[in-house]
Structure formats: C-alpha cells, structure tokens
A and B are shown apart, each in its own frame.
Chain A
Amino acid sequence: MSEATLERGLNAFREQIDAPVAAFFSSCVSCGMCAEACLFYTETGDPKYTPIRKLEPLRRVWEQEYTIVGKIKSLFGLNQPVTDELLEEWQELLYDSCTMCARCSMVCPVGNDIAYMVRKAREGMVASGNAPEGVKGASMRAVKIGSPMGVTLKAVKAQIRHIEADSGYQIPMDEEGAEYMVMLSSMEIMNFPEYLEALAKIFKQAGATWTLCSTAFEATNSGIQIGSSDIARELVQRIVDGAERLKVKVVVSPECGHAYTAIRWEGPNLIGKPFSFKVVHILELLEEFRVAGRIKTEGLETDSMTFHDPCSLVRKGGVIEQPRNLMNMVTTNFVEMTDHGKWNWCCGGGGGVSSNEDAEELRIKAFKRKKEQIEETGADVLVTACANCRLVIEEGLEEYKVEIPITGLSELVAEHLVVDEDKEQ
C-alpha cells in the first residue's frame, strides 16, 4: 500500500460514491430503525452504534461534493469537513462495531443497504490510514505469507500428511484437470482439520475429482474485510490463476462466510471480468450431491440440533435453503432459532472484527444476542458452516460459561455418510 493520507482517503470515498449510495443518503430520514437491527446497539444500548451513523464520513463527502445544496454550502464555508480526527473517531464505528452482517440493510424502511456502504466507507478508512492494527496485520500476512493467520504451504502439507495417515483418505494437491478445486480457510487448516477429512470422504463417495491448489489454498480475503480493493484483488487473482492453471470447472469456497462473498460476488468485479469457472459454497455443492443422489446419510442423530446461519451466506450469499436440507440429512430433531435464515443475528466476529484486538471487549458484549438465541432453542448441539463463526461462538460461549458442542455441517454430513464397500478405506 502506498502512504496513507487524508487526501487519498477522501479520493477513495469519492470513488465509492455511486447511484445507490446517493439514493440511500438522499432517503434517510433519521428514523433510527437500523439501530434495532444491530447487535452492537441492542446489546450495549449505546446510540453511537446506530448503523447509519457509522457512515457519517462517507455521507459528508457525498453531501458536500455530490449535491447542489452541499456545493452551495461549501461556497459559504457552512460544511463540516471530513478531517483526520473525524476518521480516527469513526474507526471504532466502522470496524470494531460493524461486522457488515447486513441485518440493518434488511430492515431500513426506506431501503438503504447500509452494509453495502460500510464496505465502501472502509476503502476510505484504509486509504487514509485509519484501519485497525489487527486487521492491517492480517491483511499484510495474507499478502506476504499467503494467509491472514500466517499459515504457510508447508503447514498445509503437514496437515494433509496427518489427515491422510489418520484417515487413509487421499488428499490431492495440484491435480490438473480435476473437476473441483477446494479452498480452505486458515482456521480450518489450524483448528478444524476435520473439515478437510470430511471433504475427502464425501468427494470419494460422490465419485468426484477434486484437488487443492498449492498457490491458492487460502480462501479468506482480508482485503474485503479491511476494505482494500487492491489487496482483495491480489488475493482473488491468486485463486483465479490457480484455478486456470489447474483447469478446474468449479472452485469450492469453504465453510467461511466472507470468503464466499469475496470470491463469489466481489471476485469477478475486482478483476474486472467474469470467471472462466464456477464458484460454489461447500453447502451448495453438498446440496447438489444430495439432490443428485450422489451422497446419502444413515444413523441420523436424535439430539436436537440448531443451525447458526453465517451472515455472508444468508443475507449476502443467498445460501439459505441448502443448510436446512442438509441438517435434515443428519438429524431427526432440527430446531430453528427464532430469527433464522436471512433474519439471523451475527456471531459478532465477522467482517474482520474477530481479528481486531481493539474490538474484543465489545464483541463479547455483543455476543449476548447470539448466546440468548442459542439458549432459547434448548438445542444439544450447535451446527454452523463458517470456521470464523465457529471460533467466535466457541469463545463467546466459554466467556458466558455456556456448554454446548459446536460442529461444522460438512463434517456432520461426512460422519453420517453412507460409504459404499468399494469406496471404504
């Protein structure tokens, strides 16, 4: 990144202003309903966390430079300028207290997509040097090492050897011409290797060819979280190059929320052209296999199980029905949370919040929402499909001393998978 200055920040804000942003700011009547949809407000009661207010710097640039009244006011020096101090103060609001979960975007009576604008506003924060250190560090590691958690290819290979030795399943790497290229999140590599093992089992049973890619094993995209299109583009380009090199048909996004947003929805726009391959989330793929009869399950759980929808999958991704069908593949006792699917509440750790140390205390407070939602279901097991949600929820529950096991949906499907004799290890 080149040197961050206020002027560069203002330019980045200007670049982000488009017709939807102008329509949104023109429509806001300061009704405050967005606050009621935001867990950072509901759990703290502090009105400074009102979602639309988090956009004040971007709003000022829009008003002052893109409206007639604003331009006239500027002539008379009647505008409040966007200053370094303002941006510094807003860092907490745009990063620590926003996971870009987009729940506010679903309730705004005039239809403002606030999360869409927070994503944009962060571009100006990065360019002006006002992004939090923790998220900056993660982005730097992603660019330099290849993973925000600093996981190297060597570490991935070591995990693969472990899994292969333990399970007997083969984990292909750099297999040219495979149908599916599977990506991982660093958290899965480090904390949840069960995911990769589950995939190996499922792909074998489904009779599909797949591979990991040595130059694009990491799916997460810190550039999207911090709000730097430059970084995001570089990380997406690695995946595109890897997929093209291996000539795969489909790239599979892992159990991670923002990685899916990054590659599925922002990716093609970052590189400025459509992909030559398809992108699916692992849950979409499992659902495809289920519908085609390529995977079946047995010995269903009788424990009551509930599902936490990762925000990026439901509100931003449209992967809503798939997890429900898959849940019913593994348990006879699936209970929904009261607000589920597109109305689900965030775990509080998305959008870079979990890698932002400044946000830790606030995140634990905001987690109360999720904790209550989980407790209300009375479920024995919590299932999700995002390694970040999973870790954030595990930490949160520990903090509040609630004991409930958490597992990933893909693992659960693999656990109950009917394996044909010739495909057994």
Chain B
Amino acid sequence: MNEPMEFLLWVRGPAFDIAALIFIVGIILRLFEIFSLGRKPNFSEPRGTEFGPGMKTIMNRSFPESGTFKRQPLTVIVGYVFHIGLLISLVLFVPHIELFRETFGFGWPGLPNPIVDAAAVISIVALLAALWHRITNPVMRVLTNHEDWLVWALTFLPMLTGYLAYHRMIEPYPLVLGLHILSVEALMVFFPFTKLMHAFTLFIARWYNGAMNGRRGVES
C-alpha cells in the first residue's frame, strides 16, 4: 500500500471539497453577518456623495500617509512585500494556474518558476520579519492575541510547505505535496472565521469609511 499517495489523493479529493465548501459557505455567512446589521438612516443634509468617495478610499488606503509611514516603515514595507510575494506565488505559479485550468477550464500565463521561487522566498522572509516585529514591537504586542499567532501560522505553513515541495526537500514527493495542499485547506477552513477574513472585509470597511466621510465632504 502506498500511503503517501493515498494521503495525496485524499487531500486533493474529498478533503479539498470539504475545505472549499466551508470556505465559500463561511464567507457568505460572514458577509451576511456584517451586512444584515445594516445602518441607521442618516437625516443630516449631505455635503458630498457616498459612493464615489467610498470607492476612492478603497484605492487610496493602500498608500500610507507619509508622516505615518515614517513613524512605522517596517509595518508597511513588510506588509507590502509579504502580500505581493504571496499573490505572485499563489496566482502566477504555473502549476497553480494549471490546477485552476483543470477545474474551471481556463487559465492565464504564469511567471517563470525561478521568479516565483524568489518571490516565495522573499515572502517567507517577510513573514518571519512580521513575526519578529509582532513579538518585539510594543504596540503590536498589546494588540496581539492568540488569533494573530494562529493566522500567522496558517499563512506561513502553505508558503513553507510550498517551498519545500517545489524544491523536493522532503521525500517522498506525494507526502510533501499533500502536506502543502493540507496546509492550504487549513487556511481555507479557518479563513472565514478569523482575521484572514480581512482580505474581503477591508473593502467593505474602507468603503464605509470613505462613504461616511465623503458624505460630510471629507476625503478620507
């Protein structure tokens, strides 16, 4: 009996389906949880509109105000580097695109493997830097709770196992590939119920911020 192969088939098959289901249903539930709370009607005479300023804030919160950046550059730089590295590894790695094509019938061009490899290494280093920053920075330390550590680990493991799998650093290969997929499934299962959800809700949060301010004539 080939146990690693069976493990791989299981994580690629039923486990993935379950994880995907929890991921999608969870996100819908969480979004419903937020939107169903609604907003009270606003009777004050508006100075500006809501929609446009809301959309603008969605864009411009990606760029920090210069004074704040100077006070805490590491948070911004590490955040940027990690997110970009993660995105490159996730959506521009050819095997990932092929998997997507198999499932949905279409794909897009990827980047050469060495470039993705470099992006992954940089992202892993950035994640380690983020961890160190979280441990040593006094402000982050008072804010951090168990969920922040969990979320960090859930993000780090797919990056690490992906790197190990790509370089075949663990034998047999089906085992390390299976572990990689399993770690992604863990990420998907926890995603809707942790801060990972910010990847979706930040657009809502930014929009509300921009809209509520825009209504008062303030560009936020």
Contacts and interface: CB of A to CB of B under 8 A. Distances in A.
Contacts of A58: none
Interface in A1-43: 17-24, 26-33, 35-37, 41-42
A33 B29 CA distance: 29
A246 interface: no
Contact of A23 (B47, B62, B75, B204): B204
B104 interface: no
Contact of B43 (A109, A272, A318): A272
Name the residue in B40, B41, B68, B134 with the highest tally of chain A Cβ atoms < 10 Å from its Cβ. B68
A27 B33 contact: no
Given A32-B75, A52-B143, A111-B207, A18 B40 contact: yes
Of B40, B44, B45, most A-chain CB atoms within 10 Å: B44
A27 B30 CA distance: 12
Contact of B143 (A50, A105, A107, A109): A50
A113 B212 CA distance: 9
Nearest to A42: B71
Interface string B172-204: 000000000000000000000111011001101
A18 B204 CA distance: 13
Interface in A81-101: none
Contacts of B205: 20, 23-24, 26-27, 110-112
Interface string A256-279: 000000001111110011110011
B37 A268 contact: no
A20 B39 contact: yes
A342 B195 CA distance: 29
B218 A316 contact: yes
Q: Which of B38, B140, B201 has the most CB of A within 10 A?
A: B201
Contact of B30 (A68, A111, A267): A68
Contacts of B45: 268, 274-275, 278-279
B61 interface: yes
A26 B218 contact: no
B65 interface: yes
A422 interface: no
A109 B43 CA distance: 29
A167 B164 CA distance: 84
B61 A111 contact: yes
A18 B41 CA distance: 12
B209 interface: yes
Counting chain A CB atoms within 10 Å of each CB, the highest count among B45, B76, B137, B205 belongs to: B205
Contact of B139 (A47, A264, A274): A47
B51 to A, nearest CB: 15
A109 B64 contact: yes
Contact of B37 (A18, A278, A320): A18
B89 interface: no
A19 B208 contact: yes
Nearest to B220: A106
A36 B69 CA distance: 9
Contacts of B58: 111
Contacts of B139: 32, 35, 41, 47, 50
A31 B79 contact: yes
A47 B39 CA distance: 32
Contacts of A110: 61, 198, 201-202, 205-206
Given A23-B208, A32-B139, A50-B139, A105 B72 contact: no
A105 B220 contact: yes
A278 B67 CA distance: 37
Nearest to A316: B216
A269 B34 contact: no
B33 to A, nearest CB: 6
Interface in A127-163: none
A336 to B, nearest CB: 14
Contacts of A28: 195, 198
Nearest to B26: A68
B42 interface: yes
B209 A111 contact: yes
A20 B203 CA distance: 11
Nearest to A265: B44
Interface of A: 17-24, 26-33, 35-37, 41-42, 47-48, 50, 52-53, 66-69, 105-113, 116, 264-269, 272-275, 278-279, 314-318, 320, 338-339, 342-343
Interface of B: 29-30, 33-45, 47-48, 57-58, 61-62, 64-65, 67-68, 71-72, 75-76, 79, 134, 137-145, 148, 151, 193-195, 197-198, 201-202, 204-210, 212-213, 216-220
Given A19-B34, A50-B142, A269-B43, 14 more contacts: A19-B37, A19-B39, A19-B204, A20-B205, A23-B34, A26-B30, A26-B205, A32-B139, A69-B194, A111-B57, A111-B202, A113-B208, A268-B43, A316-B216
10 contacts: A19-B38, A22-B33, A27-B197, A27-B205, A32-B143, A41-B139, A108-B61, A111-B58, A111-B205, A320-B218
